[in-house]
Amino acid sequence: MDVAQNIQKLEQSIAGYAQKAGVLRETITVIAVSKTKPAEAVAQAYEAGYRAFGENKVQEMLEKMEELPQDIDWNYIGVLQTNKVKYIIDKGIFLIHSLDRESLAGELQRQCVKKDKTVDVLVQLNISKEDTKSGVYLEELDAFMDKVAELSNIRVKGFMTIGPFTEDEVEIRNVFAQAKKEFDRFATQIEGFQYLSMGMTNDYGYAILEGANMLRIGSAIFGNRIYK
Ligand SMILES: *Cc1c(COP(=O)(O)O)cnc(C)c1O
């Protein structure tokens, strides 16, 4: 596994898709998903120029935060258990990508108030409705966004979604296109609403073509994981 080489290859590929989509490479942020990988692997990606990393376990993220440079933007991309919020709220996380339920919003607000903080989040959309996936259904989205808007310490900066578990291009792109449509609708309504996080190792090309400006990529950078 050569992280620098993987990144070089990935960057060429992303640049190609960006060109095809008619956007500048610089408008797309790569979140290097370092879950299950050691701090040394993160350090290699950091050396290659990446500054945004993604984790899906609270403890693992906190450990890496301690060990690695201060100027890293840490992104929490996994299901966030309500009882873990208190451990991360004052750690300066860049973005939580997975606000997926009211109880989590409530706890984020409570802990933020307690510690006099604000938190930046993405609302996770469950468009393909696979039951292994979390996220807000589109038909519940407006009501959910209204509820979160009442929570003064939570800033919704965009949407996150995970593509459907299929290789079918049309199906995947259709899901991403729906996310983009919702993104555009709210971007005109909410100040600072700017990130559309979609696309992983197997589908980031389609995500770029459908308007993603934040990709969450693990395996293509760090190699396969033994545990997901
Ligand atoms: C693991 C994970 C990724 C990265 O997956 P790869 O297929 O390795 O690129 C992206 N998003 C979420 C939510 C993940 O859990």
Separation between Cα atoms, residue 120 and residue 192, nearest integer Å: 10
- 171-217 per-position pLDDT tens digit: 999 999 999 999 999 999 999 999 999 999 999 999 999 999 999 99
Cα 161 to middle of ligand 1, angstroms: 11
pLDDT at 227 over 70: no
Model-level pTM?
0.97
DSSP state letter for 158: E
Cα 145 to middle of ligand 1, angstroms: 25
pLDDT at 37 over 70: yes
pLDDT at 228 over 60: no
- 15-27 per-position pLDDT tens digit: 999 999 999 999 9
The residue whose CA is least distant from atom 5 of ligand 1 is 218
Query: Which one of 216, 217, 227 would you pick to mutate in the ligand 1 pocket, going by the greatest count of ligand atoms within 8 A of its CB?
Result: 216
pLDDT at 12 over 90: yes
Q: Indicate if the alpha-carbon torsion angle 153, 163, 65, 51 is positive or negative.
A: negative
**Non-local CB neighbours of 24 within 8 Å, separated by 6+ positions:** 18
